[in-house]
Structure 1
Amino acid sequence: MSEKLPCNLLLGIQNVSLRVSEQEESCVRNAAVLVNRLVKFYEKETNSTDPNKVMALVALDLAMCGIKFDSERKDLHHNVHSENNQLIELVSEFTL
């Protein structure tokens, strides 16, 4: 059983205390850095420091990234599957 490590983060203006596995710690900290970069971007872009508005935009941005990634992954998987089928058909033409 892996022991959980304390992980204190500042997300926007909110302090968050988590306990994460050693394997997750780097990912969690990198995600917090990304969130804070997006907070600064949207504060500047909207000329607003309203934390609810800014965090809503950050959440929307990250959700859109996840949806786009999933869609691109599915498209890639479909393309690879189609190309594999084409290769199998070509190989089957040359078998005795």
Structure 2
Amino acid sequence: MTNQLDSFFSALADPTRRAVVEQLIQGPAAVSALHDGHDMALPTFLRHLKVLEDSGLVTSTKKGRVRTVEMQPEALRAGADWFEAHKSMWEGRMDRLARLADHLERTRT
């Protein structure tokens, strides 16, 4: 699970890759359409797509000369689960801290 999380967060650490993910949330898109909004050479952009594909966040298929990239929503689950687990932990800690502060305030007065 750790390697999957590392790959997930590493893939999303780059603003270009996050922008691609945002575009793909709307639905599958051709590589050329995804590349249009980015000011970089196509080979550089393709390396970003490879990172996303290696992480499992996207898949691509080729039909004729057109390569289409598609989001893999289930891959987001690993990140969502990690955030949810940490959110629960921190909410619990914050609740205990609030109770302690309340208790200390009441005993001080």
TM-score, with structure 2 as normaliser:
0.39
* Larger of the two Rg values belongs to structure: 1
Q: Which has the higher contact order (CA 8 A, sep 6+)?
A: 2
